[in-house]
Structure 1
Amino acid sequence: MSLSLNETESLAKTAAKGAGLCWGMAEEAAKATRWLCARGIDAGDPLVALLFRHDEEGHAQAGPELMDGDWRGAEGWLCPVACGAVLSDLGPAAPLPLTLTRVALPVFLLPFAARLALDLGHPITLSWDGGHAVTDGDSMSVDTPPPMSDVTLTLGGPIPAQPPHKTRAESDQMILVSLGIYAARTRAPATEASRLAGAVAGLTDND
């Protein structure tokens, strides 16, 4: 199925909130999803996997414990969005090279590395098990990352010619259904008061 980038970002944000992320983190996840989709990467599948991990394992300890050149998670894994938010806060002060241990769905680090590349004025290379990615802030080259891997960020790297950005996101219908299930959690259930106030027909048949 095809969605506009605005629709994709909105659905991703609501789904992330439904999975338990705070609004700030949900917004970061949604912006990252849009960035990836605009560059031809279907971010829906990894987003569902990331939200499932948060939903099942919790997210309070999924952020990085900051150490010089080596970030780890207290629960044994790192959320790429939480790591990306910290990278964005650090900006040019980010300690490169930097190794992030056991990052789930590391493809979501790319948009944040792109932001850092713009801040630094130099490309950033992300290396993971079996491949790597390079971004200069707008263009990128990427090998498909594994679902969980250590990731090392280093300064520099070659950027190939990038095709025009996409204006729509393509995703499998079942992925959209899964995101919709998470998004539905943000909606308050109907009550008798809301029905009588006009949310639905109420008790009287006016037809």
Structure 2
Amino acid sequence: MSLSLNEAESLAKTAARGAGLSWGMAEEAAKATRWLAVRGVDACDPLVALLFRHDEEGHAQTGPQALGPDWQGAEGWLCPVACGAVLSDLGDEVQFPLTLRRVALPVFLLPFAAQLAKDLGRPLVLSWDGGDALTDGNAFTLHVPPPMSDVTLRLGDPAQAPAACPHHTRTDTDQMILVSLGIYAARTRAPATDQSRLAGAGAGLTDND
């Protein structure tokens, strides 16, 4: 199915919140989803997988335990959105090369790496099992990463520049993926009660339809 970028971003934000992420992290996940969608990557599919992992395994400590050259999570895995937010906060203080251990759905690191590359004025290379990605802040080249992998970030050669990629105004994804996101998003809506109906929600206590 096809979604506008605004629809995809809004659904991603609400679904992430429904899966238990804070509003701040949900906003970051939504922005990353949109960034990827603009560049032709269906991020809704990996987003469902990421939210499922958060929902099943928790999300309290999925960011790096310590900020050195090797990041690890207390839960045994790292959330790419949590790591991306830390990268954004560190900015030019990031130490390269930087290795992130057991990142779930590492494709979501790319939007944050792109912003960091733009801020540094240098391309960044992300390497994972079986491939890598290169971004200069706007464009990127991408070998799709596995669902879980160690990721190494390093500064690229200033002469390296990925080919410009067309920007999209819509994103396509599978209908079942949208159903899954909708289930998470529905958790943010409180069920109606007699009190809420009497206060004006819905049709009151009598359904006249």
Q: Same fold (TM over 0.5)?
A: yes
CA-based RMSD: 1.3
Secondary structure in structure 1 of the residue aligned to 2:152: strand
Secondary structure in structure 2 of the residue aligned to 1:73: coil
Amino acid at match of 1:134: L
Amino acid at match of 1:106: P
Distance 1:98 1:197, change over 3 A: same
Kindly report which structure 2 residues correspond to 1:48-197, keeping only aligned pairs within 5 A, or say none: 48-157=48-157, 158-197=160-199
Q: CA deviation at 1:74?
A: 0.8
Identity score, percent: 77
Amino acid at match of 2:194: E
Secondary structure in structure 2 of the residue aligned to 1:149: strand
Unmatched 5+ stretches in structure 1: none
Give the Cα separation in 1 of the matches to 2:185 and 2:148.
Answer: 25
Distance 1:178 1:205, change over 3 A: closer
TM-score (structure 2 length as normaliser): 0.95
Number of matched pairs: 207
Amino acid at match of 2:112: F
Output one character per residue of 1:5-55: Cα deviation in whole Å (capped at 9) or x when no partner.
Answer: 111000000000000000000000000000001110100110000000000
Give the Cα separation in 2 of the matches to 1:191 and 1:147.
Answer: 40
**After the TM superposition, which parts of structure 1 deviate over 4 Å for at least 4 consecutive aligned residues?**
204-207
Q: CA deviation at 1:204?
A: 4.2
Secondary structure in structure 2 of the residue aligned to 1:107: helix
Distance 1:16 1:205, change over 3 A: closer
Q: Which segment is superposed worse, 119-128 or 149-158?
A: 149-158
Give the Cα separation in 2 of the matches to 1:205 and 1:43.
Answer: 40
Q: CA deviation at 1:96?
A: 1.1
Q: CA deviation at 1:69?
A: 0.8
Output one character per residue of 1:144-189: Cα deviation in whole Å (capped at 9) or x when no partner.
Answer: 1000000000001533322320011111110000000000000011
CA contact (8 A) 1:141 1:159 kept: no
Give the Cα separation in 1 of the matches to 2:135 and 2:150.
Answer: 18
CA contact (8 A) 2:42 2:173 kept: yes
Amino acid at match of 1:125: V
TM-score (structure 1 length as normaliser): 0.96
Output one character per residue of 1:111-131: Cα deviation in whole Å (capped at 9) or x when no partner.
Answer: 000010011001000000000
Distance 1:193 1:107, change over 3 A: same
Secondary structure in structure 1 of the residue aligned to 2:101: strand
Unmatched 5+ stretches in structure 2: none
